[in-house]
Structure 1
Amino acid sequence: MSSNLLKLRPRFEPAVGGVFLVLWLVGEAGRGYGGSGLFVLIAIAAAMAISRVLPVVALAVVASVTLLQVVGLILPPVSTMWPVNLGVLFVAFVVAHEAPKRVAYAALILGVPLSACAGYLLGTRLNRWTGRGADANEIMSFITTSLITLGLYAGAWAIGFALRASLRELRALRLLRTTTEQLDSVEVELMLAHERDRIARDVHDVLAHSLAVVIAQADGARFASVAKPQLTDAAFHAISDAARAALIDVRTLIEGLREEPGDTPQPGLADLDLLFVQLGATGMTVDARHFGDAKAMTPAQELAVYRIVQESLTNSLRHSGGKPSARLSFDWRGPGLALTVTSRGDVGGPQSTGGGHGIRGMKDRARLAGGWLTAGASEEPESEFVVTLFLPTGVERAVEPAQSGAGA
């Protein structure tokens, strides 16, 4: 319905002007006021019709008609047709409501000379029309008529201008409401995107590690089945344990989506030893050293450390060739945990995980936990890949280093 009204809005002023003209023509039919009286009626009706699209022209028309009546070139107001000039009030209303502000203010100023002209044209004639005769005080009649006309003109202009301000405020409120709704929608989309990214990182970390262990054990069992058949049984046990752990982790993630956050326990620093044992069963050498006394960390920080270590060692297992090895350094002597994971293997191995949810996911985890992470090949002659993590353990937040490392 509102859209239909908006479509009809441009036709309002022409319709009012047309109705105004037709009603006066019907009402004054047969009185024979001549061509000048008809000219005044048509001119004012036309000014009303174009007052929205051509406000300056409409004001010029009503001013010109009034001036021609004052100088006597056209018929002045008569006893039955003088209300035709009240069409000027409609022009003042529309111009104040629709026209640019400078035109609207010019229309208000124009009301002063128009009211004075109306006082001149109607003052003495009102005395005769009302039976007071020519002896009445023409100056008082002029002043009274001018003030009444000016009051009517200013009132019509003020109503139009007030309606203009009200509509502008309504548009601003509508725009504000629309913008707020759009921002709320964007916020929901961002939250969903963040949640999807978190789930993707968790699934990647769990499955990438577990499948790497399974692949390493399966390859070891396949090669050892001929030379050392007794080792295959242990390898199959390790494969079974890794697959079962992966299944449990994935089920835990899925259950976590159905429950409130925090209902499902997450791995932390205490689970790193089990991770090292699991990787050691694949033939990987893991050397972890601690410097200083461990400090308390939040559950989110412990989870970030666990996942970053898991991802780093999984990369080493997948890309380091036949003898995977990694050195871990946990340094607690500063304002937080400084962790370094150095893995030795073929050049171009771990670097290849820079896309997807590998190193990028580790950096995101570090940033969300309040720290920073760098990853890239070392400058040593040996083919080594170094991951460096820092997480503050106090209230202060870490500042990212100028060099963010390779493999972002």
Structure 2
Amino acid sequence: MGDGGGPEPGEPVMSREEADRALARLAAEHEAIETSLLSLQDHAGRRLLEGAELTGVTKERWARAEEAISLLWTHFEVYTAALDSLRELRARHRRPTLDDLAELTAGLRNPSVTVPSGPDGPDGPDGPDGGDGERIGLPELVDRINAWYAQALDVVAAADSVWSALPARIDMLSAELQRVRSLAHSVGVRPGEHPAGDELERTTEELTSLRAEVVADPLAFWIPAGGSSAPGGGRPDTERYDRAARALDDIRREIDAVLQVRQDAEQRLMRLRDVLSRADRTLAEARTARGEVLAKIAASEVPAVSGPPTVLYEQLEAAVEHRRHARWHRLSPLLESLEERAEEELERARASLTAVTAPLAVRAELRGRLDAYRAKVARHGLADDPLLSERYDIARRLLWSAPCDLRAAEQAVLRYRQAALEALAASDGGGPTGREGGVR
């Protein structure tokens, strides 16, 4: 390698046109680099990073990026000075001499500039032989500047993307969370009293923690684009935010359900009172009927009738208290249970009344059958038949006496029916039925 005063031995000297094209490329590169550096200097993400109290991976990467930015400007100054020197050399003569071209060739192609040793220096901070720097060529200098710029921009752009996306969304979700919290408290959904209240507290703590972590360490929430080497390529990691948003949606649905209970509570309580009142009246009717059956029906097993549903009435009073004190989160499950049990109680009361009054229904049926047989016989002119009259009187006496022996009365009705069938058959010439049909 030469000393920068001329081309390498055996290396051809550039022509004037080649030197002019190389200088033009360097000038364009210089302008692009200067624009990029000024843009980086004014980048909002860079200003935020400089003023933030950083932690974690962001603190580490920003420290390296700041060093890279410092080296960028130092090397850019060297680049500017070298370019100015080459331009001055080219401007000496309109048509450069062979010596001018040889010097231009050496400056454009050979390691012709001395730069401070940095992270990319081959032998540490003092250069290859312990001096103040190292000599490199302009193309290598441009490559280093571009690499450091990409490194710094990647940190700045990624941090800015996270800060632009997540904190604002977290703040909006936190504002919605505060609205939900206020609504939750109004219906008694509080930590320690309702699962949704506990989840609301956890979500609040998570959002507070998440925002602090995002502000202090934004690069911990950055997912680089796979396979992309472009600075700032990737997207913010929103997994924790999304999880908190879903949790808040679940809490909101739970509170909406409690609010629905508050809105419908009075009507549901009124319906419950009505159902329990009907069940109570039905049981009272069954108890009255049981006394009547025991007085009027003999030799019959009459089931006992339970008392009023006092436990359900107590729970109904508890529900009223929950409503009075706006304990909607407790009222909701209690109402659901009460509505189901109240309907069951009404069905049980109706079944009890049916079971208790069954003997009276049997007696009424026997009375109807006896009168039907009697009317049939009378239409055939057999009402005064001595046997029929006797059996009718026996059956009627049993059915209309108190207490009524249902078993004996049923047998008496069957005997009367049998005698009526025989009498009707005899009056019709021996057939089993008459022209109007026999007694069934």
Give the greater-gyration-radius structure (CA): 2
TM-score, reference length from structure 2: 0.25
More helix by share: 2
Normalized against structure 1, the TM-score is what? 0.26
